[in-house]
Structure 1
Amino acid sequence: MESSVTEVSEACNLTTANSTSGLDRDEALAQAEIATLATMLTVTVLGNFAVLLALSARPRKKLSRMYYFILHLSVADLCTAFLSVLPQLAWDVTYRFYGGPLLCKIVKYGQTLGPYLSAYILMATALDRYQAVCHPLAYCSWTSRRSRAMVWMAWVFALIFCIPQVSAV
């Protein structure tokens, strides 16, 4: 455990040392990247909070299957915004990684969690829609429990498949 933490710390510091070793940073490009990331973060957070607000304002308490998929897809997009875009934005603004080895591992884990989760929830949504369109009579036998199980499996797979990111750094 100690050696892997040291390796992560050295990898993060090496990346930082390589990027700050000279005057090799193109400031115009860095400002454009910061503006782009800030815009992406703002639009993603506002848009997904609007979706969550719209879903919570529904008069009926029970969500339909599609609304359930949309809810989790919105949460996955927020994970991407806060765990991937925000750390990258902070790194670009400070031009240095100030976190320790533990934070480096957490950031690396979080950077892949959102995209994995989005992909797997979209896959579950596609399977549900395929069943509804191509096999409508059999779809009636599908319960909401099956759709919920697919979403929870998407969460489990995303959480598990991000683990190699922690040990890879």
Structure 2
Amino acid sequence: MEGTTDNYTDYEGITMPIGTYSYDEFTINPSNGTMSADQIPEEMLFGIPHIVSIVGYSSLFVISATGNLTVFITLFRNRNDKSRVNMFIMHLSIADLIVTFIMMPLEIGWNSTVKWMAGDAACRILMFLRTFGLYLSSFTLVVISLDRYFAILHPLSLNDADQRGKIMLAFAWLFSVFASFPQVS
């Protein structure tokens, strides 16, 4: 191995520090920037772990889509029932649907191709949505927990509970946006 430098070069999606590896170690063809298959790390090649991930995510996608769409449609049809619990479950269902329809297909596609093929802008947007769904789901669960805490602590303050629930949900959405924003920059 040669000494490392701060200069980097990009060989068709493979970014390597210049001077760290010799051409002999990786057998890089300088004319087209490709590496020989025996030198590429195993996680960069399609194999059994990727097939297991694809099958797992596909199964979870079907189960999650079926369950969360059922909950969402049921609550949406009964939206005249203005209970706080229904509102929280509706927002949790929305968050889980974001995870289901953004993150899971993204992981399936990523494991199928073993590389990112959609470009920088799509990467930033999809990574934002991916983390946004996870944060929103988590923050909504925190809001539900806080609501149950306040319901036990102050059981007779029902007038404040509806307003407090809406405010906490608004903060859950806002905090999710702020927590996911680093994915864009």
**TM over 0.5, shorter chain:** yes
Match of 1:65 in 2: 84
Match of 1:108 in 2: 127
Match of 1:158 in 2: 176
CA shift at 1:131, angstroms? 0.8
Higher RCO structure (Cα 8 Å, ≥6 apart): 1
Paired amino acid for 1:29: P
Which of the numbers 126, 135, 142 marks the counterpart of 2:145? 126
CA shift at 1:103, angstroms? 0.6
Partners of 2:136 and 2:176 within 8 A in 1: yes
Larger radius of gyration: 2
Which of the numbers 144, 160, 169 marks the counterpart of 1:142? 160
Taking the aligned partners of 1:62 and 1:79, their CA distance within structure 2 comes to 24
Percent of residue pairs identical: 30
DSSP-derived class of the 2:176 partner: helix
Taking the aligned partners of 2:128 and 2:101, their CA distance within structure 1 comes to 12
Unaligned runs of 5+ in 2: 1-9, 16-33
Which of the numbers 8, 31, 45 marks the counterpart of 2:65? 45
Paired amino acid for 2:69: F
> Cα–Cα, structure 1 residues 61 and 164, in superposed 2: closer, same or farther, change >3 Å?
same
> Does the alignment pair 1:80 with 2:91?
no
DSSP-derived class of the 1:142 partner: helix
DSSP-derived class of the 1:136 partner: coil
CA deviations 1:101-156 (Å, max 9, x no partner) are 1011112212211111011111111111111112212x323242221121111101
The structure whose residues are more often strand, as a share, is 2
Partners of 2:127 and 2:183 within 8 A in 1: yes
Unaligned runs of 5+ in 1: 1-9
CA RMSD of aligned residues (A): 2.4
The structure whose residues are more often helix, as a share, is 1
Paired amino acid for 1:92: N
